[in-house]
């Protein structure tokens, strides 16, 4: 039985003061949460997250990682640096990184590999744009994104990862995929992995992301192949995020 995992992706939001209040609020409400919970914070706040969350049931992580181990790569942050702050997770291939910063499937696979080599659990984001959905190529796009990682790291590598299906058209738009739309893609992803390794597929946590909030979480999380959420905007409000965690 897969345990549900709800992760907050704070994106480029927060401040020391705001984070202090948000994390305190989350810690205070965790008593009633049975699902796994994590927050992926901006790099400068990893020390704060570590100090605040060590010993709690909330894990933490980052939103990006370099594919390089070390060296002259100005502005980059390595996986071993994330380990210095005891990160559990790191998001790789978020659609904002793919679209705004030009990250290719190949680069995302390299980041996935670098994260795993350092013992971090990558949260691999996949998902189609509105144009791609309307052209009927959602499965082709998601398969291509998955295949890049499988080709580089092997299907067994997915056992130590999380996949997040995030339809780009649902991110930050208030437009959520219907539970049926999301379930169909989640089932497709799991079937694709199952064709290569049934055990990996059964245990793979596949999160949904894209305007998930307290009001729609239970219905989405009730689908057989939706194993949690990767939450943007709603992760910045303690009560809202906790309500999603409880629904999970």
Q: Return residues touching ligand 13P (CB under 6 A).
A: 9, 94, 166, 171-172, 209-212, 230-234
User: Which of these is catalytic: 96, 128, 132, 166?
Assistant: 166
- To the query of whether residue 94 is one of the catalytic residues in this protein, the response is yes
Length, in residues, of the chain: 248
| Residue listed under structure tokens 């990184």 | 97
68 φ/ψ angles, rounded to the nearest 5 degrees = -90, 155
User: Looking at 13, 94, 110, 186, which residue is catalytic?
Assistant: 94
Show the tokens assigned to 144. Answer: 């291509």
> Which among 173, 174, 185, 194 has a CA at the least distance from the CA of 223?
185
User: How wide is the angle at C-alpha 162 spanned by C-alphas 195 and 30, nearest 5°?
Assistant: 140
CB of 28 to ligand 13P, least distance (A): 22
Task: Give me the least distance between CB of 199 and ligand 13P, in Å please.
Answer: 27
Active site residue 13: no
Residue 2, SS3?
coil
Pick 108 or 234: Cβ nearer ligand 13P: 234
Q: How far is the CB of 61 from ligand 13P (least distance, A)?
A: 12
Distance of CA 228 to the CA centre of its chain: 9
C-beta closer to ligand 13P: residue 73 or 101: 101
Residue among 42 and 209 whose Cβ is closer to ligand 13P = 209
Nearer to ligand 13P, 127 or 200 (CB): 127
DSSP string, 188-201: HHHHHHHTT-HHHH
Give the active site residues: 94, 166
């Amino acid at each position: 039985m897969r345990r549900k995992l709800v992760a907050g992706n704070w994106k480029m939001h927060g401040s020391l003061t705001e984070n202090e209040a948000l994390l305190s609020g989350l810690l205070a409400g965790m008593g009633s949460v049975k699902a796994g919970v994590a927050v992926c914070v901006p790099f400068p706040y990893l020390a704060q997250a570590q100090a605040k969350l060590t010993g709690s049931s909330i894990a933490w992580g980052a939103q990006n990682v370099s594919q390089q181990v070390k060296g002259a790569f100005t502005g980059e942050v390595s996986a071993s640096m994330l380990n210095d702050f005891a990160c559990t997770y790191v998001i790789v291939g978020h659609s904002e990184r793919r679209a705004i910063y030009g990250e290719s499937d190949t680069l995302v696979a390299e980041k996935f590999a670098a994260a795993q080599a350092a013992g971090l659990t990558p949260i691999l984001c996949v998902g189609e744009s509105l144009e791609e959905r309307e052209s009927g190529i959602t499965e082709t796009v998601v398969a291509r994104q998955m295949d890049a990682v499988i080709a580089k790291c092997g299907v067994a590598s997915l056992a130590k990862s999380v996949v997040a299906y995030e339809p780009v058209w649902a991110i930050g738009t208030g437009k959520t995929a219907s539970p049926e739309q999301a379930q169909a893609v989640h089932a497709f992803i799991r079937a694709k992995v199952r064709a290569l390794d049934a055990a990996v597929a059964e245990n793979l946590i596949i999160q949904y992301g894209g305007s998930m909030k307290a009001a729609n979480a239970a219905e989405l999380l009730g689908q057989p192949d939706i194993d949690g959420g990767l939450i943007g905007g709603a992760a910045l409000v303690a009560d809202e995020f906790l309500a999603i965690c409880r629904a999970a």
